[in-house]
Amino acid sequence: MLPEQKSDHQDSRAFQAATIRRTRGRCRGLTMSGEWKRGNRHGRVCGLAVLPLGILLCQQASASLLDLTGQYANAVEESAAAANQATYDTLLQGNGGPCAALQRQASADCGGQTFLLFENARELVHTANELTGQGPTDFSLGTDLAGLGTSLRWTAGEEFAAQESLTTEFVSGQLSTLASRISALRGGATGFFLAGTPADTPLGLGASADSAAGERYSPWGGFVNGSYGKGDKDATGNEDGFDFDGYEFNAGADYRFNANWVGGLLAGITQREIDFQQEGELVVDGDIETEGYSLMAFALYYHDQWYASVGAGFQRMDFDLDRAIEYPSFNPAVESVDTRTLSDTSGDTWSVNAAAGYNIALGPALNLEPYGRLDFADTRIDGFSERDINNDAFQLRVERQDFRSLEAVAGLSLQYTATPSFGVLIPFASAEYHHQFEDESRDITAVYNAVDLGPEARFRVATDPLDQNYAVFSAGLSAVLRGGRQRSLDGEIHGGLQGFISYRSIQGLQYYSHDIISAGLRYEF
């Protein structure tokens, strides 16, 4: 969490706690007819006992969800307790709100979504009253502290943190595709040249470099590929567990300007899905479906064994989120909660990439390449509002999210060129070490959207910090499927076709497992 985020978070909690302390114990009375009398604007509804002589005895109003602070299971429950208590206090008639403490039906002042939201918060507050032995308990859920914490977590919206995972995974996939393409453009450097294949091998794999025999290759090259990835994330105190999978399709073209410079474009589309999973007491249900696209431009410079490249691009992701809110009531007078909220939003990312490496020939067909890379991404996910499918007033309004990623990568790749009688095979493998500089936790801020509530009623759910260090291991095989051809005796060579397949595994992430399979074709125009 950034220092300024911590400060805001602490200030909000302090304000909420101070509000509870100021209002606790201030009372309103009940007339002999049983009607609530208007009390101090900042007062709280009080527990009452009517004496035989009609004297009203006023007791402390309630214990407050905040009185259980430090006893909840995790930070999400703590945040949800503060937000729901502030929501209840804001709507309570004794504090200047529209809702009477024990009203059972909608009224002119407290009706519709306002009354439903007040009911939801009141049930949680009365549950805290029952657990602490203070205040009214008419609308308690009748559960224990663990059950109250679980109910609070259902209201919090910690599922929104998964949007960052989906965004960064797509950007990472695009940068990996770009790195693979850069690798394919080095050495004899053709549109379909795989590093390690001799430049004068007459396979028609070039984008312009002439062979020793004076052959001319097309300056244009292109490729298409696809990948499928899947994995899972363990639940934590801040974020829910989920399974995820998805695919990407990419296509690109490049042009060789001279013997040292190549420029090109890369486009990609993706579709991914997250399914939230229950793990132990951390209950959750729902999913996020996403579609996205990416556009990137890149340039490559190489000289002898050295190379350097830069790339820049834009990624757009569209999110459709289905979030469940389900928790039981053991009080016959209070119904269990069972509803869902739906929402959609978009996120934009600007990414920049720079890389450099050096090719070392270990033998006629074996090459080793150390390299380094710097990847930067700046993402903004638009704020959005949920829709409660049952109109039960659990929908949240989520504020805009902004986050960055800056990773340094050090890698080593090894490849071998085999030339059997039927063609050319190039097995390859690589290992990368990633270091994340922007690894701090951040807050996702939301508030109930049924009525206009102040900042003290906000949910502030902290995300897990990003893993600072992890590793990526890859292995695969490329093969020449068809050599290039000349349309005329002295014409350029076109039509070289290669295929490849690779497997990539991400290791060292604390809560994630992630594996990707890719396959594609490289073609010479």
Quote the pLDDT of residue 222. Answer: 84
Q: At what angle do helices 75-91 and 145-156 cross, to 10 degrees?
A: 80
* CA atoms of 522 and 222, how far apart (whole Å): 6
Q: In the chain, what percentage of residues exceed pLDDT 90?
A: 56
Give the DSSP letter string of 88-100: HHHHBGGGT-SB-
Residue 54 pLDDT exceeds 80: no
Q: Tokens representing 198?
A: 């001799």
Model confidence pLDDT, tens digit, residues 373-426: 999 999 999 999 999 999 999 999 999 999 999 999 999 999 998 988 777 888
Fold of 163-195+207-524: Lipocalin (2.40.128)
* SS3 call for 163: helix
Q: Which of 271, 230, 274, 265 shows the shortest CA–CA distance to 249?
A: 271
Q: In the chain, what percentage of residues exceed pLDDT 70?
A: 77
Mean pLDDT of the residues in the chain? 81
Q: What's the pTM value of the predicted model, to 2 decimals?
A: 0.79
Beta strands (DSSP E) in 304-383 are: 306-327, 337-358, 360-361, 366-381
Q: Which of 29, 40, 88, 41 shows the shortest CA–CA distance to 62?
A: 88
Quote the pLDDT of residue 178. Answer: 85
Q: What is the 3-state secondary structure (H, E, C) of 476-516?
A: EEEEEEECCEECCCCCCEECCEEEEEEEEEEECCCCEEEEE
Quote the pLDDT of residue 454. Answer: 86
Quote the pLDDT of residue 482. Answer: 56
**Residues of 125-146 as b/e, b for ≥16 C-beta within 10 angstroms?**
bbbbbbbeebbbbebbbbbebe
The more confidently predicted of residues 266 and 520 is: 266
Beta strands (DSSP E) in 199-240 are: 220-233
Residue 212 pLDDT exceeds 60: no
**Under 8 Å between Cβ of 34 and 23:** no
* CA atoms of 152 and 339, how far apart (whole Å): 14
Give the DSSP letter string of 243-261: EEEEEEEEEEEEEE-SSSE
Rounded to 5 degrees, what are φ and ψ at 127? -65, -40
Q: What angle do CA 410, 480, 430 make, to 5 degrees?
A: 15
Which region among 49-53, 176-180, 422-426, 427-431 has the lowest average model confidence (pLDDT)? Answer: 49-53
Quote the pLDDT of residue 349. Answer: 97
Domain range list for the chain: 65-155, 163-195+207-524
